[in-house]
Amino acid sequence: MNSAAIHTLELDGLGRLFHSPEHIIFLSESNLHSTGSCAWNGGMAPVKGWLNLKVSGSTHITDSPASTLRDYARAQGITQPLAGMMTAASMDSLRVTARGDGDCRLACLVTAGIQNARRAGDPADEQPAAGTINIALVCNQLFTPAAAIEALLVATEAKTAACHDLAVVSPVSGKLATGTGTDSICLLSAREGDTAIDYCGKHTRLGEWIGGATYDAVFDSVRACLSLLR
């Protein structure tokens, strides 16, 4: 990987984060399973980490987003599959939060742009402004498919709570926004384990961690974005 202007961060028990003006790359210490709405390896897929690629709000992607992300990863010397997202948000908007105990490690990685704020149910529009909240949850535990979806549900609720508490307003409806029109989210979890997580709702400790870590990361990232716009 090209080391120019790249900062690294060790995520205890999970892997290493590489942060540059052009991208954020997380590489795991072990093989992972991704569940989410990624442009590259979306749905459910085996991956080695996460790529969040900075693109211009006016960039015209000639290849498919998946091909663009894959080719970018290969240019960085990464041949393993990653869960890939794109955003026009500044990579300086990255916020990282962590939770866990001796056995369970969880991290939430967030970048945010908020110019494209929307409320779920707003009238659809075909030419949105640039602005996306991208969320990656990383956990060293094995999840059942249902629990993985539940984790994404809890994290999405936490994102919406953060947007509400910051009084983010949709320019379309004039009501409190629930996010942006192009948000993406994924859970990167262990591919193997002795026991799988069956539940991670708000009555569980893991659900508490997912909600709290996501809320804190989204709140801080979106608040920083809003401060630049006001």
Residue 52 lies in a domain: yes
Residue 2 lies in a domain: no
Mean pLDDT over 130-156 rounds to: 97
Q: Which residues of 171-210 are buried (b: 16+ CB within 10 A; e: fewer)?
A: ebeeebbbbbbbbbbbbbbbeeeeebbeebeeebebbebb
Residue range(s) defining the domain that contains residue 218: 7-229
CA distance 176 to 117: 9
Residue 62 lies in a domain: yes
Label residue 95 by pLDDT band (50, 70, 90). very high
Q: Angle, nearest 10°, between helix axes 205-229 and 145-165?
A: 40
Is the pLDDT reported for residue 59 higher than 70? no
**pLDDT given for residue 6 in this prediction:** 76
Mean of all residue pLDDT scores within the chain: 93
**How many domains is the chain built from?**
1
Q: pTM for the whole thing?
A: 0.95
Is the pLDDT reported for residue 53 higher than 80? yes
Strands 184-190 and 133-139: parallel
Label residue 62 by pLDDT band (50, 70, 90). low
Residue 67 lies in a domain: yes
**pLDDT given for residue 123 in this prediction:** 94
Residue 184 lies in a domain: yes
Residue 180 lies in a domain: yes
CATH of the domain at 185: 3.60.70
Residue 100 lies in a domain: yes
Residue 1 lies in a domain: no
